[in-house]
Structure 1
């Protein structure tokens, strides 16, 4: 699920890709302190938040996923450097990158659950649905963690690696034949998971937008500023989600199955594009804490209280 090509088998373009690999790694290293600080701050605030609604429950789990993902970023950056050792690449392929992807898709699913919660609260405000129960939200969040870590991390971690392979052009080149099929199943599963969550988010926020517009019309309000704020709130969530995650999964369509073929000299431009879109996905961990301030009154109140104490 990640590439570490140095391009040594493609000498005509190896220098170009090597330069890009250094640039992408620097982008990761720049993202790391920002993500760690913002999510560390968000985690401290969440410790002081009471889980009074499913939204806050999912938000806390989302903060945990983003914070854990932040700790894997330096390993992702270092293993992508052209001079990275094979042992470092093996560690990244088996452990840190696996946790990175698990946290990434945990965040995606939790954002889908948050969208469903917003849908129920705005479109079905008077209903007493099972999904609006605190107990159910805790169980659902726990199931998401279990599904992704047991269903994707465990098969990948248990896959046999061959550290004696010194080419290290990609993780799959260090995987034995027995590990190729489970890895391909994991890739297919997470791709389907992303597109399913995307459909849920789009449908939820289309319905939410329609309900907001209808409520303004029924009330006879001419508050154009309120309408713009409501639309902007919906637009920002969708914008952040698809800006961060859509490019990566478009690249998955053409790239991920090439990895399973163990092609030594794949298109380096595609590898660069994949690495950049993967970095773009990691920036979601930096943007999520900013959305918390905008979307959650309790989170914003705790942040203001903390700043006043300081």
Structure 2
């Protein structure tokens, strides 16, 4: 995984830090850390008080966990980039928090893909209860479509997702084991063993591959959903623009967040990774520019911890109703307390 600072392959590669990476990004990360922690703490408080009665709720709960894990890495980044920590902090970032950041990001990306599949099955391939008997195989088992919507199957997929990413990233921790000192502490590749460098490249390609596959899944699912929604409106001849607007807002919120947060970084990551190779013929100016672009687009990826709660509110009715009920109850109690205080004057 790319290091939060300047991941370098050789000691003679320049430090590409700039005013942007040292003075602008740290305050921005601090802001999204505070805002994201508040929003995701509320989301976790709501979600883990409601039952997992659908696959969508299962996936969204796992997204909350992934976002909280990602948020836990932000303070390390901010402190390191502000130069407030010793070189030992850079070693901790290389070995642990950078790995946790990227693994949490790709777990979130995979759950977005699973959510899009769940929405596709529910909206496009949905079968009504009256026809459920025709969806059973001659062996008596439920259909694949019904299986994809079941809570148990969603939990299995969630467990497989976490296990897959754990198996992929754990060697990045174990193989970043070469002796560290003040000179090489900021160069993550120099802390990796020979096998660790190879594993880093393989896991990077694998993670990027997962992203592009997920992107294609999202594009297919939401293109199909858009066609089905349009056909539905034409068939029933609904002209209620408010209903249509709410439907589009809830269905495509995850697509907007995905494209804003993750697509720019993965477009930039291809040339940036090539510039890191020892045999690359990129100039120092080009490498510097690519590093700045990578850091800027990586910030957009981190911004998803603040945007994901919007997805929860728009897509999940039980989350939205629980949150509004909690807020209305708190406002009602506060109004009652104020009225009682005024009556005692």
TM-score above 0.5, yes or no: yes
User: For 2:242, which of 221, 225, 238 is the aligned residue?
Assistant: 225
> Displacement, 1:34?
0.7
1:94 matched to which residue of 2?
A: 95
Aligned equivalent of 1:182 = 199
Larger Rg: 2
2:32 maps to 31
Cα distance, 1:171 vs structure 2: 1.8
SS at match of 1:108: helix
Instruction: Give 2:313's match in structure 1, choosing from 287, 293, 299.
Output: 293
Output aligned runs, 1:28-177, within 5 Å: 28-82=29-83, 84-126=85-127, 128=143, 129=145, 130-152=147-169, 154-159=170-175, 160-164=177-181, 166-177=183-194
CA-CA distance at 1:73 after TM superposition:
1.1
Identify if the C-alpha distance between structure 1 residues 19 and 268 changes in structure 2 by more than 3 Å, giving closer, same or farther: same
Give the TM-score of the pair, scaled to structure 2: 0.82
Rounded to whole Å, the distance in 2 between the matches of 1:229 and 1:214 is 17
| Residue 210 (1) aligns with residue 221 (2) | no
Q: Contact 2:21/2:295 (CA < 8 Å) preserved in 1?
A: no
In structure 2, the partner of 1:261 is 278
Q: Which runs of 5+ in 2 are unaligned?
A: 128-134, 136-142, 331-345
CA contact (8 A) 2:76 2:93 kept: yes
- The change in CA–CA distance for 1:122 and 1:213 in structure 2 (over 3 A counts) is same
Listed one character per residue, the Cα deviations across residues 139-189 of structure 1 (whole Å, up to 9, x for unaligned) are 10011001001222x110011243125154542233232311000001000
Pick closer, same or farther for the CA change 1:185–1:309 going to 2, 3 Å: same
Return the offset for 1:227. 2.6
RMSD: 2.5
List per-residue Cα deviations over 1:100-129 (Å, max 9, x = no partner).
Answer: 111100000001000100000000111652
C-alpha separation in 1, matches of 2:264 and 2:44 = 28
Quote how far apart the aligned CAs of 1:134 are: 1.2
Q: Quickly say closer, same or farther: Cα 1:37–1:205, change in 2 above 3 A.
A: same
Change (3 A) 1:80 1:177: farther
| Contact map agreement 2:33 2:74 (CA 8 A) in 1 | yes
In 2, are the aligned partners of 1:4 and 1:171 still within 8 Å (CA)? no
4+ runs deviating over 6 angstroms: 6-11
Aligned length in residues = 307
Q: Which moved more, 1:91-100 or 1:72-81?
A: 72-81
Gap runs ≥5 in structure 1: none
What is the distance in 1 between the residues matched to 2:7 and 2:66?
30
What is the TM-score of this pair, normalised by structure 1?
Answer: 0.91
